[in-house]
Homo-oligomer: A and B are copies of this chain.
Amino acid sequence: MNKILLRDITLDGIRKDILIAEGKISKITPHQAGPCPVQDGTETVDCSGKVAVPGFVNMHTHAAMTLMRGVGEDMVLRDWLDHIWAIEKHLDEPFIYWGTLVATLEMIKTGTTSFNDMYWFSPEAQKAASKMGLRNLTSFTFLDNFDREQASHQRDVCLEMFSQVPSWDPRSTFSVSIHSVYTVSEETILWVTEFARKHGLRIHIHVSETRKEVEDCKAAHGGLSPVGYLDELGVLGSDVIAAHCEILSDEDIEILGRRKVNCVHNINSNAKLASGYKFKWKELSDAGANVCLGTDGAASSNNLDMLEAMKTAAFFQKAWREDPSALPLKALLDLATVNGAKAMGANTGRIEEGFDADIQIIDTDSTFFLSPGPFLANFIYSAHSDCISSLISGGKFVMRDRKVPAEREILDGGRAQLKIIENYIKH
């Protein structure tokens, strides 16, 4: 793998030279003007006027659903699900492969270098993500609808898939998903948890997304909330990635904090589907939980843009807390980068020597950055993802000057899949 030298790039307000070798940030030095002092075989990239930001870590998505966005707009959740399920019945491996390619193309164009996926036909998803050069935590998803036969079948498929993991790309990590407490039986939840702990796999689960989910759980499990119920089953721990965590009691927050659960905020999806918006990032964080950010699937959110998700998250926090200082810039960036890295167990999310080289290169030559304010404010609150001119993932350029290899092929392949599912769309 070639070395890359990012010359004269601004990092935390200071002009630096960043040397990338073997996929890692190998050396950061103050910028040296004058002739380039590098050895043979190192590619030198002039980054003057540009700013380095860690690649985003999207901690909850359903990547291939990107091809289903816009289905069932302006509808209540129940009708929206009918539209989605009508299509999902017909999904197959090519759909997942091309859908994940389209998703990763969108992630690259919006600065994401790592993502946590929950969907079907996972080997196809990891194949697509690996082809595009993104780190991914890709799960087998359990959703047995309380049916013993389905549960048994899914365990078999999961074990078979797990046996193939050694052949996966090194940037792909296998995990297991429990879809939710309202779609997965207790027996399966216990089996998955034991299986995950035995093999050191992360557990990905939707938790307390809607009020209905919480109320139904309480009715079914002697007054226990989804968090209380999962805790009683021994599921919760620092290896659990709990998506949404939108409807929480004080007791839920205490449990999630004590168990050091990774709680993923998905504000665009929660707001758009009207599931909730008073996410308790501060309370969870203070209690000991690791709070991260995700986009959810594009069918509900409606894109995979983490920069936009950060902005929306801050707007909602400031608005409902009636406090313009709520969720300040530095905390916001942490949610979208280093906290996600921690949840994934990945050595990324910071631009420091020894970390994996996952770097956004930001072009500040636009009105959005013409301001006396701090870079982070301009980046998060004013600019859009098209300010991300280039992206390095695992030490390799996956986008240069807004160009992603194979973009044309991916858009055309995605469009061909859309033609196939057209017949299954409810109108």
Contact = CB atoms under 8 A, between A and B. Distances in A.
Contact of A372 (B76, B272, B411, B418): B418
A67 interface: yes
Interface stretch (A39-47, A127-135, A173-181, A317-325): A317-325
Contacts of A303: 368, 381-383
The listed residue with most B CB atoms (<10 A of its CB), out of A103, A319, A414, is: A319
A254 to B, nearest CB: 26
A386 B80 CA distance: 29
Nearest to A425: B372
A71 B372 contact: yes
B76 A411 contact: no
A2 to B, nearest CB: 28
Contact of A320 (B277, B323, B368): B277
A268 B326 CA distance: 15
A74 B325 CA distance: 4
Contacts of A273: 318, 324
A414 to B, nearest CB: 5
Interface in A295-346: 298, 302-303, 305, 308, 312, 314-316, 318-326, 328-329
Contacts of A366: 109, 411
Nearest to A211: B322
A22 to B, nearest CB: 31
A298 to B, nearest CB: 7
Interface string A268-309: 101111101100000000000000000000100011010010
Nearest to A104: B367
B367 A102 contact: yes
A219 interface: no
A318 B365 CA distance: 35
A272 B103 CA distance: 30
Q: Which 5 A-B pairs have the closest CB atoms?
A: A70-B373, A302-B381, A271-B319, A386-B386, A70-B371
Interface of A: 66-77, 80, 102-103, 105-106, 109, 268, 270-274, 276-277, 298, 302-303, 305, 308, 312, 314-316, 318-326, 328-329, 365-368, 370-374, 377-378, 381-386, 411, 414-415, 418, 421-422, 425
